[in-house]
Chain A
Amino acid sequence: DAKTTQPPSMDCAEGRAANLPCNHSTISGNEYVYWYRQIHSQGPQYIIHGLKNNETNEMASLIITEDRKSSTLILPHATLRDTAVYYCIVRVWEAAGNKLTFGGGTRVLVKP
């Protein structure tokens, strides 16, 4: 699976959009981009994933560059409950055993 690079930490003001970047310059054509987050003392939580097109769901938006070498997770209106470590993961989908390889992630602190 391709490796990802994320900033170790970032702050965000409550109510503002949080833009979380992720570089995955060695991504291959059949690898998807996944985002998970881990709130303190909880298990990781799925947020969103995509292959080529931009994606949006009730939690966030995912913007993938045309060359697919980087992506941005957007939390449109950050709340204090969005404080967490956010992980960007790229991997090939497999029929069974979808292994997730977590990196260091970005520690996001949402401030009042």
Chain B
Amino acid sequence: DTAVSQTPKYLVTQMGNDKSIKCEQNLGHDTMYWYKQDSKKFLKIMFSYNNKELIINETVPNRFSPKSPDKAHLNLHINSLELGDSAVYFCASSPPGISHTEAFFGQGTRLTVV
């Protein structure tokens, strides 16, 4: 009954490959996010989707393309992987409305590009 689940948990791949990370939330939230945590442990937002529409795109290279088939899913596709893409990627979701409730994060996907 995990609230926000990501797959895979670990991903090791070679430079130049294309890979995807999947995210699903069963909380009924309207908004989903992708965050990147680099080797220095800084967490930065990459994208945000609200009801399947892109609302935040934080100057992420075009090689990264989020896709939201429905509001419970936000997948991250990465083309032509580079060494610098190695990081932990976190998916998150938050509810809509005027309440200031929190964001729920997944357990992360550790991507290693070799």
Residue-wise, chain A 9-31 has the 8 Å CB interface mask toward B (1 for contact) of: 00000000000000000000000
- Does B63 reach chain A (CB closer than 8 Å)? no
Interface residues on A, range: 20 to 34
Measured in the bound complex, the distance between the Cα atoms of B2 and A29 in whole Å is: 36
Interface residues on B, range: 20 to 34
Given contact pairs A93-B100, A96-B30, A42 touches B107 in the complex (Cβ within 8 A): yes
- Decide if A99 touches B48 in the complex (CB within 8 Å): yes
Closest Cβ of chain B to A1, distance in Å, is 11
Closest Cβ of chain A to B103, distance in Å, is 6
Chain B residues near A87: list those with CB within 8 A.
43
Partner of B94, one of A32, A98, A102: A98
- Decide if B56 touches A85 in the complex (CB within 8 Å): no
- Does B79 reach chain A (CB closer than 8 Å)? no
Measured in the bound complex, the distance between the Cα atoms of B86 and A102 in whole Å is: 19
Partner of B56, one of A32, A46, A99, A102: A99
